[in-house]
Structure 1
């Protein structure tokens, strides 16, 4: 039976985007692509027959200008990243675009949007200098390496007041003869900045411009400030802080990595009512002073003295003539390339009220927000002037409910302080230039009795649109899904980081693992596109090597002389391979070939490095050993001669972690590097070959496939025994070998049997590390063991995904047992998204939403009707629209509801023993309700009758 459940609605155009963004002000390209969706209403099987795009120059005052491009009516179903032939926008210009779409059911739909082209794309169009305010130089501090001696040598000893310096407050006054009809503020900084115009904040971004490879390029933020300016006097105010540029960052916690003096630059582009244009540029007349912020560091925290506030400092009525307080700045030429900011900025994306304020047995006052997050606290307080309130942040409490600091490293204080001004009506404060990873706050010095309503957690993140949902008959899986979303939100902040409280570093391995899940859960097209630009930038200085961390802080170079095993890992399998994996996954999820084109040369450089390194280095155990000609030739093909992170954090390799964590974490690298390297080498060769074919580089594709086949043959000969065994006997080694087709077809059954034995030997628990865990359940499922895959997912004793859910986790942990059964806490992050990669499996295997063609133009719906769930509902917002499924079993079958977006198709694939209505396995757009029959008798499990 087929039923249409939609109420009557007409079709309409929806989600118009330019290069994945809604009405962008300053694109980094001059020939953007256009995308749209068709909401079909009640029409079934709607398709797009043709489209027409017209682009007009947008005149100041929003008047439509001359026609810049017109495709005419194009007979095509395409609606994702559509090019307009011949259109090349002018740098700094604004445009409107009008879209017409004709559908198969004779509807004509119209809509439109706007976009602007940034400056600095192909020309040197930046005219303003850096403004360098009077300031103290940032002190370079932090450990000099990883060894205890190096860490001790760099350990800061001075009080914070003597180590840190206050952010600078800048005033730029200017006069306008006329109120402009168009005004664009383009601004960036070496540091982080918050602009104001005439007393009001400009934009809603925080921590702009974010984190990037500052010594190679810096992004410029563009703001429409037309309505903020007035005829006569105006004032642009800028607060400038250390941020990632000069503050303490990464796992070393070192400061001044990119520079030790803060600067900002801006251009105010104006168009008068008579059409004349002019620029307002800063000069030595920009004044600066310190304000109420005593210090503000991303890691350490912020101290704010409300008694030192400067009312009206950013307004025209303010008196700035006291040169002991307001001092002239100096100007410095801009030499680093400035480029338009790409994508979504960091914003306040949510607010969570405090759930409880409690006092524990040791007298601590603890504020609990109920959720581990990245952000800061907005506090209301009333008390006497000079009272200091101290807020210390942590992700977890110990087994007794007391505050516990579970963060490794120096300069990771996560402490904010507020000094009251004593206002009778009370005061409200939120830090400006810091953020923390936390759920709990230890409160000290708060006057009176703190109430939950006085505290709000302000969640900050890059403002990425959620694109997926999952609910089921097992609430634990729903919580696991939510935990993964929260971890992605906390760590997709400026760059994809590993954790928001300890390192905040762009570890490439974490993103490589998580890329498919990331692109399912949120719209990460622009965010990861920008980050991959930093990957390419940092790669250029390393002979094709992709750094383990991107952006790569300059101070990490000291690790090369550290002497530790960890420091030897300068090029890592599964980490550097992010340059092949992430562009491929972005192409698959968004159907945008530009991800492949932009990264193609970087992919080749990485693969070429692997090839050169394979020929140059042999495994340490074979150095000086006589090899046969055949064996030597094999090892020259295999990238197996250097230490990698390997299958990092595989549980069985961490037995001695509590006693000696530094040694324990290196056991997996020692055991698995020799095998993991060639496996990821083959994987990257495959992806390079597929990319080359799509881009028309067929000769490169052919060579890459031949090389991948040779690597696989050499690997099998060297490491796989005739009975399908691989040493060391670790689950992860077998998982990767099977997932990456390293096992000859004749030996796949034997290798699978050995993997199953290893899983059973672990009492049906996973024993996979970072690199193999994304593939574990799929390998079991695809090789005939779906029930074992389900068993592993449902385990709730460690190591398992649901153990942390059982223990009350609200995010994904770094380690499987970060909190022990007795409540004791390990020194590990409670907010690492990597192991949340299982959500991708849940969406594909349980809900049944499977991507077949790029952008979900074709999908499969293959729900797990034979599994442990009675009900599952999920959706993915694809580039074509929402693809959704909802299934529920009953005693004699199931009801499956599928929504397919216009422009997509879905093929229904059911397990053996289930039967679809005749001819209903291939679905076009619309909502389809399918009554599915069981062909092997009624279900005897506990399901609704």
Structure 2
């Protein structure tokens, strides 16, 4: 691990074999259901493999007694909405396929509180995407699997179920969503609606009896894997932050722009009075996010008063309703859904820019979380793993521990999709993408990817399950005679957007980081031979870097002829390849070379913080991110340094790979970082530079950690909250300090520790910090400076 205080990248001083695992999350994704299913897959007998098909399923059953618990298991391709006795139970259940290229997720839902004595009605609306995308692989067959078995009753999907294709649902006219999206734009013709079909009094006598498609393990759905993340957070229907007064009616076609409180994942709702055949259109300002069209919605009216909610989520800061002349608008609302986590972390400081970039990073992070971590919520919705590494790092500092499950899911998927030749690729799940991006894959399985998950959670199960796949991937890389790694093009030799990319240098740096993560995993699993091999390989690469690749002012591969690559210098620092004697020269590189995209800029800024140049890091952060952070029109961060054509890859304005500053401000400026997996031991060692006031909160797996500081010419004061069952290393910036007290007890004076009972141990002055180890509790630390 990297110790912010010493600057060393080792595990010395921490016995990995004695770590207590305190954070057991969920049943591993690699395991399917423990109890054999009794239900059968069912479908409409007329169902075809075509995009954007919606099916209604119904079943009535009786129970003489409502059980205390009634766990329903539900699988579908692709999404479902569930009602029991006319009450909505699940709004958009199901996950995009899948845990690997063949298998399917299923949900577990306790439906007991929705049941009554006597007759009960189960209604399921299923949305079959029917096409592949960058985040979904289609099964090629609509189908539903439902099972609920209790001592009081048994409900199994079989031929007794009724089913019909919903006649009101269709597809909006072009522009169609771009090929990366498996979702379609939804058109709903209210003249063909099936009113109240999900309520108990509706008769399904004219519907089809369901056709059995096979047992639960049947192709094309195969093994079933329990949903590893929570059901979505659901705000219910809410009024917009700003909208016209209702009722509203105009004699001409009108665009009503409704403002949302932030950039959200929403489903738009309307209530209108109209004549038949009027077409109302709903879309957000992000419809062309990233240059390519994504999804919008249409509603075709019937006669009279009517209400409708379009179930396909879209994102944006505004929702625009295109209202035809003569339509009376009675209500416009929205429902926010999204990943079920809370904004448990926080950061504030005396610098408004730092506060703004942290908050914009947080909003961008959350808008890119749902079935998987996404690069963006509009153009692609794809689990690109380079993006996920940055996003997951941010989540550990900003969100509650439920957010960890999304990272865990992605880890199992990455190895679950590993190909027979041992290569890894992303985005996954994917039905229409297959290229390996070697740099992203090295980043994923390495120190900032898989190992960072374990470091923050203490959840050892994924380490044990996934390590063999990591090792297989590292073994496909070949070596040069000097020990450096041979460049592999893969499917797409992408290192970053932008220019001046020293690809061979970058490849060796990220391979070193991958080895570092694998070394830590091997040591955790007590695989001594593997660990020894990784150490030898790392030493050879480090030697080559500091002899063959160092030219006296910067690192450079001999075959590279471009300008000095700031990204690769940063990787040399954060990996531990670069020794401290090279820091002054590397600082000059970071002051003059600006080639990294917002994605790779995280590593550049982190390198500057690690080298001890906090003020210089903040200055570069403000220079590079200033235009997007200070842009009043957006609450999120961009894919590139500009908007649209000025950005990269189409230039989305919602790209969480740009949010690395969130991690750095909490981890380095305020100094919170785990030292042992699962936060049993962690550090609070702030590196404030010239920042006068700062505070941070982190929801760790061990409890809430809080710290704040006041930094002045007269002193440096800190408050610290260390949760029960943990210990912390607290560091006070040493510059000009002559005395330190902890909870009113003097603990350090005249360059020496003072005997006391306030701290556990004095650790010394290391890397410009004076360090103490403390037990759980609250601390007020005051350092007096020489005037």
How much has 1:384 moved relative to structure 2?
Answer: 3.3
The match for 2:765 is none
TM-score by length of 1: 0.69
How much has 1:843 moved relative to structure 2?
Answer: 0.5
How much has 1:390 moved relative to structure 2?
Answer: 0.5
The match for 2:615 is 787
How much has 1:454 moved relative to structure 2?
Answer: 4.0
In 1, are the aligned partners of 2:290 and 2:653 still within 8 Å (CA)? no
Superposed CA deviations along residues 118-167 of structure 1, whole A, max 9, x for unmatched, are 9974756012221111445344xxxxxxxxxxxxxxxxxxxxxxxx5540
In 2, are the aligned partners of 1:573 and 1:646 still within 8 Å (CA)? yes
Which of the residues 127, 144, 153 maps onto 2:38?
Answer: 127
Work out the CA distance in 2 between the residues paired with 1:592 and 1:364. 51
How much has 1:554 moved relative to structure 2?
Answer: 2.9
TM-score by length of 2: 0.82
Question: How has the CA–CA distance of structure 1 residues 446 and 249 changed in structure 2, closer, same or farther, with 3 Å as cutoff?
Answer: farther
Which of the residues 331, 346, 359 maps onto 2:213?
Answer: 331
Superposed CA deviations along residues 440-487 of structure 1, whole A, max 9, x for unmatched, are 333212567999x94444332221233311122223322222222222
In 2, are the aligned partners of 1:385 and 1:420 still within 8 Å (CA)? yes
Work out the CA distance in 1 between the residues paired with 2:575 and 2:637. 26
Q: Does 1:500 align with 2:377?
A: yes
Work out the CA distance in 2 between the residues paired with 1:825 and 1:741. 30
Give 1:675-690 correspondences, 5 Å limit.
675-690=505-520
Which of the residues 279, 301, 310 maps onto 1:431?
Answer: 310
How much has 1:705 moved relative to structure 2?
Answer: 0.9
In 1, are the aligned partners of 2:79 and 2:94 still within 8 Å (CA)? yes
Query: Matched residue pairs, number?
Result: 712
The match for 2:366 is 489
The match for 2:164 is 289
The match for 1:596 is 463
Q: Does 1:800 align with 2:625?
A: yes
The match for 1:535 is 414
The match for 1:903 is 725
The match for 1:3 is none
In 1, are the aligned partners of 2:52 and 2:183 still within 8 Å (CA)? no
RMSD, aligned CA: 3.4
Give 1:475-624 correspondences, 5 Å limit.
475-522=352-399, 523=401, 524-539=403-418, 541-551=419-429, 553-557=430-434, 570-581=436-447, 582-610=449-477, 614-615=478-479
How much has 1:173 moved relative to structure 2?
Answer: 2.7
The match for 1:734 is 569
Question: How has the CA–CA distance of structure 1 residues 731 and 120 changed in structure 2, closer, same or farther, with 3 Å as cutoff?
Answer: closer
Question: How has the CA–CA distance of structure 1 residues 572 and 240 changed in structure 2, closer, same or farther, with 3 Å as cutoff?
Answer: same
The match for 2:773 is 922
Q: Does 1:173 align with 2:95?
A: no
Question: How has the CA–CA distance of structure 1 residues 354 and 892 changed in structure 2, closer, same or farther, with 3 Å as cutoff?
Answer: same
In 2, are the aligned partners of 1:284 and 1:331 still within 8 Å (CA)? no
In 2, are the aligned partners of 1:638 and 1:714 still within 8 Å (CA)? no
Give 1:31-180 correspondences, 5 Å limit.
80-81=22-23, 121=32, 123=34, 125-139=36-50, 164-176=51-63, 179-180=66-67
Work out the CA distance in 1 between the residues paired with 2:236 and 2:355. 20
Superposed CA deviations along residues 746-796 of structure 1, whole A, max 9, x for unmatched, are xx544x44443334335xxx432366422212322333533211211232x
How much has 1:829 moved relative to structure 2?
Answer: 0.8
How much has 1:328 moved relative to structure 2?
Answer: 4.0
The match for 1:239 is 125
Work out the CA distance in 1 between the residues paired with 2:515 and 2:325. 63
Question: How has the CA–CA distance of structure 1 residues 446 and 579 changed in structure 2, closer, same or farther, with 3 Å as cutoff?
Answer: farther
- Uncovered stretches (5+) of structure 1, i.e. residues with no partner: 1-75, 84-114, 140-163, 273-277, 396-403, 558-568, 616-631, 654-667, 938-945
Work out the CA distance in 1 between the residues paired with 2:778 and 2:730. 13
Work out the CA distance in 2 between the residues paired with 1:502 and 1:176. 47
Work out the CA distance in 2 between the residues paired with 1:413 and 1:176. 45
How much has 1:588 moved relative to structure 2?
Answer: 1.0
Question: How has the CA–CA distance of structure 1 residues 447 and 180 changed in structure 2, closer, same or farther, with 3 Å as cutoff?
Answer: farther
Give 1:15-26 correspondences, 5 Å limit.
none
How much has 1:591 moved relative to structure 2?
Answer: 1.9
Q: Does 1:875 align with 2:716?
A: no
How much has 1:225 moved relative to structure 2?
Answer: 1.9
In 2, are the aligned partners of 1:214 and 1:258 still within 8 Å (CA)? no
Which of the residues 310, 333, 345 maps onto 2:231?
Answer: 345
In 1, are the aligned partners of 2:290 and 2:650 still within 8 Å (CA)? yes
Which of the residues 202, 206, 210 maps onto 1:318?
Answer: 202
The match for 1:811 is 636
Work out the CA distance in 1 between the residues paired with 2:232 and 2:362. 17
